[in-house]
Amino acid sequence: MTAPTRGRTRAEEPAGEAAAPPRYAALRRFARGYLRRPSGIVGLVMLLAFAVAALVAPSFIHPHDLDVTRASGALMAPPTGAYPLGTDENGRSVLFLVIWGARASLFIGVVATLMTVFIGGTIGLVAGHYQGRVGALLMHVTDWFIVLPSLPLAIALSVVLGQGASSIIIAIAITSWTGTARLVRAQTLAVGARPFIERGRALGASDPQIMVRHVLPSVLPLILVSSILTIGSAILAEATLTFLGLGDPTTVSWGSMLNSAFAQGAVTVGAWWYLLTPGIAILLVVMGFTLTGRAIEHVLDPRMVDRA
């Protein structure tokens, strides 16, 4: 009688994947799964289009095009050949404004999300790992932030911190980290119950070591999905706060465009090109992030993936 050997198990693995390093294999598997989701591709293409436009904008939009003192178009005029999306109240091209606005909107969205994920991830991880008093205390703090009404809190914060991009980023981060924290904590609890964590502990690994080396890698995919979905909401939150007049009026962003459009009476005048353009841009980008995030979620979550 020979006991079944491990060698036999290894022999059953498909030969092709055994050749590639496991990390790239996982990536390839992920890419293949992602490509099977058309909505994910649509979302990604939308995002890439905006990202590219935002990045190359300085090559075809001169600062003078956005300088109100040098704008030469008619004031709040409907689309024409020279101004395909019409002009704003100062005679600037709405097309240029919306492209330039993508820079501020995407930047604030991404940075606010990084902060959100950092705060939420750290608190969730610590709370999930130290389940005693520390964990309870952190979760009480989280609960406390959850019941605070986010929009008034964000408005109050940006008033206290002064107007501008940085305070809007902080306001968004402070009001939206709680979701990530609870998500990460739940996953940390699940991972913490697995035998390999106990094994690590038995081998003498310290708490930080377990958290960073063992728990975090297992939680990362979840954080990735959550953060991609959060970017969309952060961009919307940025637009909301700037629309409410909490941004710097000289910075062009989609929210500030909507703010000026309303403040200048675009509704009464019927300047649809000025109102709809930033609105649709916000819609597309938020949709792009949502589609992309959902697609990644489906690919990464074993319960959702069709493994056939």
Partner 1 sequence: MRVGTVRHDPRGPGRVRRLVAVALGGALLVAAAVGLGTGPASAAASDTNLTVTMDGSGIDTLNPFLSFYNGALNTFGLIYPSLNSLGKDGVPGPYLAKSWTTSDDKLTWTFTVQDGLKWSDGQPITAEDAAWTFNLIMTNLTAATANGSLVANFASVTAPDATTLVVKTKQPQANMLYVSIPVSGIPIVPKHVWSAHVADLKSYKNETYPVVGYGPWLLQTYQTDQFERFTANKAFRLGSSGAPKFDTLVVQLLKNSDASVAALKNGQVADTSVNAKQFDVLKADTKMTAVQEVGNGWTGLEINGGARTKSGKAIGTGNPLLGDPQVRSAIHWAIDKNKLLTNVLGGKGVVGNGYLPPAYPQWSWKPAAADAVTYDPAKANSILDAAGYTKGADGIRVDPRTGKKLDFRLGIHSDSASDAQISQFLKGWLTDIGISIRIDSLSFAQLNSNLSRADWDMLMDAWTTGPDPTYLLSIQTCGTLPDDTGANGNTDAFYCTPEYDKLFAQQVVTLDATERVKIVAQMQDILYQANYDIILFYGDGLEVYRNDHVSNLLFGPPSSTGLHPAQSVFWNYLDATPPGAASAAPAASSSKTGLVVGGVAVLVVLLAGAFVLRRRSTSDLRG
Binding residues for partner 1 (CB under 8 A): 67-70, 75-76, 89-91, 116, 145-146, 150-151, 154-155, 159, 162-163, 175-176, 178-180, 182-183, 185-186, 226, 229-230, 232-233, 236-237, 239-241, 243-246, 248-250, 258-260, 262-270, 272, 275-276, 279, 282
Token match 């709040």: residue? 76
Q: Considering beta carbons, is residue 200 or 218 the nearer one to partner 1?
A: 218
CB atoms within 10 A of CB 230: 28
Nearest distance in Å: CB 67, partner 1: 5
CB atoms within 10 A of CB 304: 10
Residue 5: exposure state from Cβ atoms within 10 A (0-12, 13-18, ≥19): exposed
> Are the CB atoms for 79 and 273 separated by under 8 Å?
yes
Nearest Cα to Cα of residue 184 among 245, 135, 150, 231: 135
Nearest distance in Å: CB 228, partner 1: 13
Q: Considering beta carbons, is residue 184 or 211 the nearer one to partner 1?
A: 184
Nearest distance in Å: CB 38, partner 1: 24
Token match 């040098």: residue? 70
Nearest distance in Å: CB 166, partner 1: 13
Q: Considering beta carbons, is residue 138 or 155 the nearer one to partner 1?
A: 155
Q: Considering beta carbons, is residue 26 or 159 the nearer one to partner 1?
A: 159
Q: Considering beta carbons, is residue 18 or 75 the nearer one to partner 1?
A: 75
Lookup: tokens for 150: 């986010």
Q: Whole-angstrom Cα distance, residue 116 to residue 188?
A: 18
Q: Whole-angstrom Cα distance, residue 192 to residue 127?
A: 12
Nearest distance in Å: CB 271, partner 1: 8
Q: Considering beta carbons, is residue 39 or 251 the nearer one to partner 1?
A: 251
> Are the CB atoms for 165 and 108 separated by under 8 Å?
yes
Within 13 A of 123's CA, how many CA atoms are on the CB side?
A: 24
Nearest distance in Å: CB 202, partner 1: 31
Q: Whole-angstrom Cα distance, residue 89 to residue 91?
A: 6
Q: Considering beta carbons, is residue 46 or 154 the nearer one to partner 1?
A: 154
Nearest distance in Å: CB 239, partner 1: 6
Instruction: Give the C-alpha distances (Å, rounded to integers) separating 88 from 80, 98, 188, 238, 269.
Output: 13, 11, 50, 21, 12
